Structure 1
Amino acid sequence: MGPSSVRVAAWQCVPRPLDVAGNLARLDDVARRAAAEGAAVLVVPELFTTGYAIGAAAVADLAEPADGPTAGAVAEIAAAHRIAVVRGFAERGAGGVVHNAAGLVGPDGRLLAVHRKVHLWGEVDRAQFAAGDAAPRAYRLDAAAGEALDGVGVGMLVCYDVEFPEATRRLAAHGARLLLVPTANPVGCEDVQDVLLRARALESGCAIVYANYCGRDEHLVYDGRSMVVGPDGAVLAEATTHDEELLVADVPLRAAVGEAYLRDRREDLYRD
């Protein structure tokens, strides 16, 4: 059956492009802080370890396999602080193809899941990455994810993915109740936090943990407003400034409205 609620953390931070070692040091510190506040899982922004808008050449240079050396460092951090971690990273796949990915590491340091961004956003994404070719997958976590997450259905999406109702609905239909979303949402896209996150949560009956950058890099200004949304669409925590901020919130994992939508939908009429 799993727990009825879970404590989550989302870290809003300024990007530090190309500074992999420095970003890992920052992750170690924030994982320690989130664990001290009782969070079972910490989500950090899209492409956190490398930076997001760094160009195709830098992405190709810094990309690693999902179990590469940077992943090993993240695993050590998660295990040291006994907290699950979701981080965005540049994944080198088969044939050298590079994907914009998210990885979930358990509190024992094991890599539990990887999601490759399906919906590429604008020329920034398209110039740097190949789109994932697999639909988002729901994972039923076990004791390896820690007692607080044992039995919880989770899904990962990366930034633009969460804006598509098909993505969240598919995850919900396959048992996810907690969606973990590293993002790099820039100024000018505030409708995501104003409308879409709450709508996606409410219609799917899933809680959403959305961790964004603030500040700027060479190419983009990020709008912050990292957010934790409950499965009824209620905002449970939101960054109140455009500075670095750690959000921690207890989220319920069930909502009557979302369960009704899943139960009553006429999927037979929607298939092509």
Structure 2
Amino acid sequence: MTVNIAICQTEGRFADPEAGHTLLDEEARAAAAAGADLLVLPELFLTGYNLGAARARELALDPEGEQIGRARALAAEVGIALCFGFPERVGDGVANSAILIDEAGGARLIYRKVHLFGDLDRGMFALPGDGFPVVAWRGLSLGLAICYDIEFPETARMMALAGADLILVPTALMPPYYVVADSLIPARAYENQVYIAYANHCGGEPGIDYIGHSSICGPDGAVLAKAGAGPTRLMARIDPGHLAEVRRRDPLLADRRPALYGTIAG
């Protein structure tokens, strides 16, 4: 069964979670009205990214708390699955996390960013993730990565080997890293024979700018939908039949020779 996936590339509502919820509500309803089954939004969508350590702690959310509960209720009301980033309160620390909520409002997966990006991430988030889980959704296997994670080939490959068909990537990509959005994402999709939905911020926040260039790429590396620099919505169809045909035609994963690759994991 095919599913329609949408991306919201947005300037967001910096350091204002209430306004972020209003924007989430608007975008979820618009995506559902356009026929989307799943909406993907950027990294730390509900709060903005360049928060600093103190504000990240102040705005961090409990996955069982009221704000995530509102997002789950929205998904169930509108009948659309949601994936977005948020700062997660974990004990006394904060993680850079993303959640996948299904169309019934169920929290299917919370993923914590594994690869923290420089001083910017490490100054805010003391709790990196420690794995690459996949979950079943509407006949597909889904994995999550966050921004810098997808720049490591091992991230997508681990999920592909675990059976992922679609990888969702909430992102906050800034200059000069156009090569990631424009070249690396289609290559990751092709080399792992998965769909990738890469949802970036656009515009800017205090002290940081974003490039946009969100995309949805197919398992053959085809760019199915691509954004420019400004706010926009993207939509593409995820087709399991096409996925199976690509994998049958070019069995890249089956033709691997893992016994020869030992040193790359060191």
Instruction: Quote how far apart the aligned CAs of 1:268 are.
Output: 2.5
Query: Residue deviations 1:77-136, cap 9 Å, x none?
Result: 11111000001000111x322110000011111101011000111211110002424211
- Which one of the candidate residues 120, 134, 137 is aligned to 2:116? 120
What 5-or-longer segments of structure 1 have no aligned partner?
Answer: 142-149
- In 2 relative to 1, CA 259–103 (structure 1 residues): closer, same or farther, beyond 3 Å? farther
- Which one of the candidate residues 106, 121, 127 is aligned to 1:110? 106
**Residues 202 and 257, structure 1, Cα contact 8 Å, conserved in 2:** no
What is the match of residue 99 of structure 1?
95
Instruction: Quote how far apart the aligned CAs of 1:202 are.
Output: 0.3
Q: Percent identity?
A: 41
Structure-1 separation of matches of 2:105 and 2:247: 34
Greater displacement, 261-270 / 38-47: 261-270
Which amino acid in 2 is paired with 1:191?
V
Query: Residue deviations 1:41-74, cap 9 Å, x none?
Result: 1000100111100110000011122222211111
Which amino acid in 2 is paired with 1:90?
P
TM-score by length of 1: 0.91
Which amino acid in 1 is paired with 2:261?
Y
**Residues 207 and 251, structure 1, Cα contact 8 Å, conserved in 2:** yes
Aligned ranges for residues 1-272 of structure 1 at < 5 Å? 3=1, 5-93=2-90, 95-141=91-137, 150-240=138-228, 242-253=229-240, 254=243, 255-256=246-247, 260-271=251-262
TM-score by length of 2: 0.93
- In 2 relative to 1, CA 156–238 (structure 1 residues): closer, same or farther, beyond 3 Å? same
Structure-2 separation of matches of 1:104 and 1:42: 10
SS of 1:52's equivalent in the other structure is: coil
**Residues 179 and 209, structure 1, Cα contact 8 Å, conserved in 2:** yes
Aligned Cα root-mean-square deviation (Å)? 1.4
- In 2 relative to 1, CA 21–133 (structure 1 residues): closer, same or farther, beyond 3 Å? closer
**Residues 202 and 233, structure 1, Cα contact 8 Å, conserved in 2:** yes
Structure-2 separation of matches of 1:234 and 1:108: 31
Which amino acid in 1 is paired with 2:257?
R
What 5-or-longer segments of structure 2 have no aligned partner?
Answer: none
